[in-house]
Structure 1
Amino acid sequence: MYPTEPSCHTDLSRRRFTAGLIRSALTISATGTSLFLPANSTNNKTYTVQDIIDLILKEGKLSKIPDTVDTIKAGSGSQQITSIVTTMFATAEVIRKAAELGANFIIAHEPTFYNHKDATDWVAANRIVSQKQELLKKHNMAIWRFHDYCHSIRPDVISYGVVRKTGWVPYYQNKPMMTIPSVSLGAMVAHLKQSLGIEHLRVIGNPEQLCTRVALLPGASGGQGHVRLSEAEQPDVLIVGEAPEWESPEYFRDAGLMGNKTALIVLGHAASEEPGMEYFVEWLQPKLQSIKITHVASGSPFTWY
Structure 2
Amino acid sequence: MNDNQNFPMPGRRKFIQNIATVAGSTLLVSSPLFSFADRLLSAKQVTVGEIMDDFIKQVPGAAIANTVDTLKSGNREILVTGVVTCMFPTIAVIKQAIKLGANFIIAHEPTFYNHADAIQWLETDNVYKYKAELLAKNNIAVWRNHDYIHSIHPDGVRKPLVEKLGWQKYGDLDQAVYTLTPALSLKSLIAELKTKLQLPSVRYVGDLDQSCKKVLLMPGAAGTRQITALGKNKPDVLVTGEVSEWETAEYIRDARESGQQLSMIILGHIASEEWGSQYMADWMKKQFPEIKTTFIRNSASLKMI
The SS at the match of 2:85 is strand
SS at match of 1:253: helix
- Structure 2 partner of 1:9: none
What percent identity do the matched residue pairs reach?
A: 40
Would you say the 8 A contact 2:58–2:152 is kept in 1? Answer: no
**AA in 2 matched with 1:116:** H
Give, in whole Å, the separation in 1 of the partners of 2:289 and 2:58: 14
**For residue 201 of structure 1, what is the aligned residue in structure 2?**
202
The corresponding residue for 1:217 is 218
Query: TM-score if structure 1 supplies the norm length?
Result: 0.86
Residue 148 of structure 2 aligns with which residue?
Answer: 149
SS at match of 1:247: helix
Residue aligning to 2:158: 159
Aligned partners of 2:105 and 2:142 also within 8 Å: yes
- In the other structure, the counterpart of 1:269 is 269
SS of aligned partner of 1:284:
helix
Residues 245-300 of structure 1 deviation map (CA, whole Å, 9 limit, x = unaligned): 11111110111122111211110111111111112211232111221211011227
Is 1:69 the counterpart of 2:75 in the alignment? no
**1:253 is matched by which residue type in structure 2?**
R
Q: Which has the higher helix share?
A: 2
The aligned amino acid for 2:205 is: I
Q: Mean Cα displacement is larger for which, 142-151 or 281-290? A: 281-290
Q: How far apart are 1:71 and its partner, in Å?
A: 0.3
The count of aligned residue pairs is 278
Displaced runs of 4 or more, over 6 A? none
Q: State the alpha-carbon separation in 1 of the partners of residues 187 and 195 from structure 2.
A: 13
How far 1:162 sits from its partner (Å)?
A: 0.8
Quick check: 1:245 aligned with 2:245? Answer: yes
**Residues 53/262 of structure 1: CA separation in 2 closer, same or farther (3 Å cut):** same
2:39 is the alignment partner of 1:33: yes
Letter in 2 for 1:291: I
Aligned-partner Cα distance in 1 for 2:287–2:59: 11
* Mapping for residues 36-47 of structure 1, pairs under 5 Å: 44-47=43-46
- SS at 2:274's partner residue? helix
Q: Structure 2 unaligned runs (5+)?
A: 1-25
Equivalent runs, 1:1-305 vs 2, <5 Å = 24=30, 26-31=32-37, 33=39, 44-61=43-60, 63-123=62-122, 125-173=124-172, 174-181=174-181, 182-222=183-223, 224-299=224-299, 302-305=302-305
Structure 1 residue ranges without an equivalent (≥5): 1-19
